[in-house]
Chains A and B, each alone.
Chain A
Amino acid sequence: MRDAAPADDPTPAQPDDLRAPPPVDLAAALTQMAGLVLSRETVDTALELVTTLAATTTAGTLGAAVTVVDEHGKRSRAASHQAVQQADALQYELDEGPCLTAWRSQEMVRIDETTSDVRWPRWNEAVSRLGVRSVLSAPLLAVGESIGAMKVYSVRPANYGPHEERVMRLLADQASILLANSQSLSEARRLSRQLTEALGRRDAIAQAVGVLLARGASSHQEAFGHLAAAAQRSHRSIEDVARALVAALTAGDTHAADA
């Protein structure tokens, strides 16, 4: 988890001003993210950062959670507090809850009192037992599509009002862009890695061809033919035969391999 204000530090009360910037310096947070852009767990780290920002930006929050779904339907989640994690997971188990609704309807959802709200009865009952009394959930929209939702939970009833809704909306806008980019970035990274690995696999075959050329094969075709024949005889892939040949060479055992 990146450095950020701890979740139990309440943010100071904000004047009700539409033009006031969000209480957390998103630019700095995003710059910090830029340094993480090249790290391996990009999406997970982005999620953690967004979760921490949401939790520290809204006063009275017990914890925050974010769920994103990529185009393959793969879900990624982060939560800044145990109880929040449970409350969040319950939505998916019960297939009902404010965040799912926010996600599907692409509209912000607010619960002021879980013990008396009539929407999502099973979920409300379950989370009020966990101590959660108010919830605010904002959909994450990127390119007009819903990619998930971010939410904050509080143990105080009616903790969230118009001001918090505004803050969450601003954060959700920024977070959507960041998360959508992280996903494309993760995807790009994954493809890049796959490509690089595919290139590497071919190396063993080319090296083995070289070894056979040095041993007297008269052409690339002849050398490759040797490898193919050995692969067929021993029911292995050409790649495996090539790898074994090169490994035997490096181990100093020049006559071990089949070819």
Chain B
Amino acid sequence: MTNHDHRHRHMDAARVRAELTVPDLWLRYVALGGTADAFDLDGYLQGLVSLEIFQQDVLAQALNEALEECYRANRVPLSTRPSDGEDDDRPFGTEDDDRFRSLVEQLLRGRSRAPRRDAEPPGGSCS
């Protein structure tokens, strides 16, 4: 069975970039409603078997979400206030932290910045 579409190569490259093993990718794909089994997925990524177009889209979504997580995990956070309070060369002092934070929130139309607390799916969070 030959696979003429090159999308599978792009997808496998994305998988590698997102640091996912094929089984981990399959789990994320299944969590999104994917219906191909793990072997078909592996075969598709290697260009050995074809995959229904819609299932390719489900796979693409799984990969995009994993890439996004990877990207977020690799970002460099801004400096935070050290607990011993020694650091003096910050742009805003302690009292101004709250003001700073509320300014940011206003700019983003008042959306609260609750961090994500739910469990991460297996693998690939590029930690």
Contact = CB atoms under 8 A, between A and B. Distances in A.
* A/B touching: CB–CB < 8 A: yes
Contact of B30 (A38, A188, A199): A199
Interface string B64-91: 0000000000000000000000000000
10 contacts: A38-B40, A38-B46, A39-B48, A188-B39, A189-B39, A192-B37, A192-B39, A196-B38, A199-B35, A200-B35
A38 B39 contact: yes
The number of chain A residues touching the other chain, given as a range, is 10 to 19
**A-B residue pairs, 4 tightest by C-beta:** A38-B43, A192-B37, A196-B37, A193-B37
A38 B48 CA distance: 8
A195 B46 contact: no
B33 interface: yes
Contacts, number: 29
Contacts of A196: 30, 35-38
A160 to B, nearest CB: 38
Interface string B30-74: 100101111110110010110000000000000000000000000
A200 to B, nearest CB: 5
B108 interface: no
Contacts of A95: none
Nearest to B36: A196
A37 B111 CA distance: 51
A200 B36 CA distance: 10
A203 B1 CA distance: 30
Contacts of A216: none
B46 A189 contact: no
A195 B35 CA distance: 10
Interface string A181-201: 000000011001101100110
Contacts of B38: 192, 196
A39 B49 contact: yes
A203 B33 contact: yes
B114 to A, nearest CB: 24
A195 B37 contact: yes
A39 to B, nearest CB: 7
A200 B1 CA distance: 25
Interface string B1-42: 100000000000000000000000000001001011111101
Interface in A195-231: 195-196, 199-200, 203
A35 interface: yes
A196 B58 CA distance: 15
A200 B30 CA distance: 9
A123 B40 CA distance: 44
A35 B38 CA distance: 16
Contacts of A35: 48
Given A38-B46, A188-B39, A196-B38, 20 more contacts: A35-B48, A38-B39, A38-B40, A38-B42, A38-B43, A38-B49, A39-B43, A39-B48, A39-B49, A189-B37, A189-B39, A192-B37, A192-B38, A192-B39, A193-B37, A195-B37, A196-B30, A196-B35, A196-B37, A199-B30
Contact of B1 (A39, A188, A193, A195): A39
A34 to B, nearest CB: 10
Contacts of B42: 38
Contacts of B40: 38
Contacts of B36: 196
Nearest to B35: A200
A152 B41 CA distance: 38
A150 to B, nearest CB: 26
Contacts of B46: 38
